[in-house]
Structures are given as structure tokens and as C-alpha cells.
Amino acid sequence: MPTPKASSSRKPLLYGTGVVLAAALLGLVSYRATAPADRSGPSSSASVADVTADPDAGVFPELARLARRDPADRLAQGPVDAPVVLIEYADFTCGYCGKFARDTEPALVKKYVDNGTLRIEWRNFPIFGAESEAVARAAWAAGQQGRFWQFHAAAYTEGAKEKGFGKDRLKALAKEAGVRDLGRFVRDADGAAASAAVSKDQEEGYGIGASSTPSFLINGRPLAGAQPVEVFEQVIQAAADKAANTKDAKGDSGSKGSGDSGGADR
């Protein structure tokens, strides 16, 4: 993968000592996901096993709390109360991010978002220079008119990044995405609010130690790279099962308490 640009705004780890371990895990899995030897064969199988063997392994409560669950979030899809939240830190100029967007994300949406199991929250994480930041702001601007995911699909179409993301190209992508008010789109993309929103996401990514794209958190569990869909399915299912078991345990506890109280009243 290309080397990210140096950033004067990059911050140290911000979310507690446990995040140091999470950052190390992100770096390790990112290396495995992007190294040529990891594309097939035994190394790939080992990587899958490493991130899915134990539903509690590698889960950090500090990172789970980064899920915003904001009903007004224009850069998210899925119910705010979904048991599993996948946070994606990505760059529109990143080829691996495009691979995930085209080959993996649609399957996850169909299997988990549509039935209410999964919420996907996007974080703009532009790390490859001025065009990365420009398209991130443009995506945010499209979102202000309810067309973020349509813009996301257009920007990640096969071969789209090779055409560049200059101002005219961004406007064309917005039109393709169905953004109605292109004048507002241009103003929003160039405005202070877009810059602030992108910077907030970017600092969050740097704050957890992400150094490559795409990087993910699934209920506080770090995962990096355009992993096979099976990896995401196993991690999401494990998180969903854990959430269901936790809910059942709380329900059983509440039922027992209610029954005891009721018996005393009688």
C-alpha cells in the first residue's frame, strides 16, 4: 500500500492504555491483510483464525464506546440500536477500501444491516494527501443532502479513483449520486463544517492507532484490511451472539427478581 502522508495534526493514542494493544493489533492485522503472501494459502487461513477464534479476544470497551449511534448521522446506515456496530475508517483514494466497498460491504448490508443486526458507521480517514481530503469533504457534503451512500458507491466504482478527484470530477460524482442542489454541494464541500467533520473523524482514527486503510472496529474489536467476507461474517456473528447472550442473561436476572418480588407480595 502507499505510505500515508505525514500529518502535523496526528495525535497520540487517546482512549486509554488498552488502546495501545488495540493499535498493535491493527498494525499486525493490517500488515497481514496487505502483504502479498496473505492473499491466499495457509497465511490467509491463519489470519482468519486469529481474529475470529474467541468472541472476547481483542475486544476493547474503550473502542466499543466510539460507536456514536446518532440518529442524525448522515454517514451511517442501519438501526441506531443494532446489537453490532461496525465503524469503518477509510479513504476514497485507497484501492483496498474500494475492494471492500464493492466486494464485501454489499453482502454485509444484505445479510446483517437489512435485518437490523448491524449498523455501519463511516469515518472519513483521508491519509493520502490533498485529493483524499477533498473527496472526504465532498462525501460529507453529499451526506448533508441524504446522498452519502450513493456518492460512496459512485466514488468506489471500479476505476473511479484512476480518474482523480478534482473539483469537476467531484461535482460529476455528486450529480451521479443524485445530489439535487449542486451549488450547495460545492459550498458545503468547501466549508468549515466539512473540514471540521473530516478532521474529527481523522483524529479519531489516529487516536486509536490506525495507520492504514481500511481499518475497522466491530463492537470494539479491531480489524484491518480488505479481509475476505467470511472474516467479517464470523466477527459480526460472534458479536451478535455475545450481545444476544448478554441480553438474555439480563432478562433472566430481571425475571427472577420480579418473580421473587411478586411471591413476597402474594
Each residue's pLDDT tens digit, 127-165: 999 999 999 999 999 999 999 999 999 999 999 999 999
Paired with 121 in beta bridges are: 76, 87
Is the confidence at residue 175, as pLDDT, over 60? yes
Lowest mean pLDDT among 150-154, 236-240, 256-260: 256-260
Half-sphere exposure of 264 (CA within 13 A, CB side): 6
User: d(Cα 92, Cα 94) in Å, to the nearest integer?
Assistant: 5
Q: Could you give all domains of the chain from N- to C-terminal order, each with its CATH number? A: 18-248 (3.40.30.10)
Answer yes or no: is pLDDT of 216 > 70. yes
CB atoms within 10 A of CB 184: 14
Note the pTM of the prediction, 2 decimals. Answer: 0.80
pLDDT, one tens digit per residue, over 114-132 is 999 999 999 999 999 999 9
Indicate whether 210 pLDDT > 50.
yes
φ, ψ of residue 34 to 5 degrees: the values are -105, -15
Query: Quick one: pLDDT at residue 4?
Result: 57
Q: Is residue 123 a contact partner of residue 205, using CB atoms and an 8 Å limit?
A: yes
- Sequence-distant (6+) residues with CB within 8 A of 48 are 227, 228, 230, 231, 234
